[in-house]
């Protein structure tokens, strides 16, 4: 169950698409990332979470994510920097670093729930229904 939530929230983060309903997913994700319960998610906590997520997503355990493990083609392409049809841990980490930089709007090196939510607000034409 946790894995599904992470994946959904991860997709929403990536695409910037989120409905008001899915805000609770951000809260759940935030709490599970905030390991020391300081009310902020540090860069380390953030990257540790996505490292775990990467391992969970690697269903066949071969150390890379293939198309069957990342269903969304757009997301797959955005992660697969060298276009070898596989997302390795380095590519995943590089992308997560980008995401962290985008999410950390006040650049203090940690994320608050408000920062996560700000990014969750519909900002693309796709998200408008």
77 part of the interface to Ca ion, by CB under 5 A:
no
Show the tokens assigned to 121: 């607000």
Interhelix angle for 43-57 vs 89-103, to 10°? Answer: 140
Q: Kindly indicate which of the ranges 6-14, 24-32, 47-55, 60-68 contains the residues binding Ca ion, using the contact rule CB under 5 A.
A: 60-68
Nearer to Ca ion, 24 or 77 (CB): 77
Note whether 80 binds Ca ion by CB under 5 A.
yes
Residue 2 belongs to what H/E stretch?
helix 2-15
Size of the site for Ca ion (CB under 5 A): 12
φ/ψ (deg, to 5) at 65: -100, 130
> Are the beta carbons of 38 and 111 closer than 8 angstroms?
no
Which residues is 111 bridged to in the sheet? 41
**CB closer to Ca ion, 34 vs 80:** 80
Residue list 27-56, contact with Ca ion (CB under 5 A): none
| 82 lines the binding site for Ca ion (CB under 5 A) | yes
Instruction: Note the residues at the interface with Ca ion (CB under 5 A).
Output: 58, 60, 62, 69, 80, 82, 84, 86, 104, 106, 108, 110
């Amino acid at each position: 169950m946790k894995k599904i939530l992470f994946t959904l929230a991860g997709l929403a983060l990536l695409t910037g698409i989120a409905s008001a309903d899915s805000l609770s997913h951000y809260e759940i994700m935030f709490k599970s990332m905030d390991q020391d319960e300081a009310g902020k998610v540090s860069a380390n906590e953030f990257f540790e979470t996505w490292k775990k997520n990467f391992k969970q997503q690697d269903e066949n355990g071969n150390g890379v994510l293939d198309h069957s493990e990342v269903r969304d083609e757009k997301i797959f392409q955005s992660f697969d920097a060298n276009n070898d049809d596989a997302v390795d841990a380095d590519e995943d980490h590089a992308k997560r670093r980008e995401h962290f930089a985008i999410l950390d709007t006040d650049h203090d090196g940690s994320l608050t729930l408000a920062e996560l939510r700000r990014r969750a607000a519909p900002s693309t034409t796709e998200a408008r229904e």
